[in-house]
Amino acid sequence: DVKVTQSSRYLVKRTGEKVFLECVQDMDHENMFWYRQDPGLGLRLIYFSYDVKMKEKGDIPEGYSVSREKKERFSLILESASTNQTSMYLCASSPILHGNMGGYTFGSGTRLTVV
């Protein structure tokens, strides 16, 4: 069964801490994404990567950074966690099909609470 695995299901961190969210996919997908999802705001793209060591800013990159050292792993870093970063974080991956973005496979999500 193909999978996108996020390292933590629930996480509680203190304001100012550096937070690492890890995501691993086993489908050899080129593209990987980090979203956050908040009630009423839908999915908001933070960063994405279409190749190893490549990264692109999404709609809301402020306060976040990413790392993709290997094709299967995409990490999201909160440099200094703040309470407004309390959210559900979703990692996804997708293939490139016929030159187009394929459908995403999402991880199970990490619910992060910053106190």
Return residues touching other proteins (CB under 8 A). Answer: 30-31, 33, 40-43, 45, 48, 50, 56, 58, 90, 94, 96-97, 99-109
Q: What's the rounded Cα separation, in Å, for the pair 45 and 28?
A: 21
To other proteins, the closest distance from the beta carbon of 48 in angstroms equals: 6
Q: What's the rounded Cα separation, in Å, for the pair 95 and 31?
A: 6
To other proteins, the closest distance from the beta carbon of 30 in angstroms equals: 7
Q: Which is nearer to other proteins, 14 or 62 (CB)?
A: 62
Beta strands in 26-84 (DSSP E): 31-38, 42-49, 56-57, 64-70, 73-78
To other proteins, the closest distance from the beta carbon of 19 in angstroms equals: 19
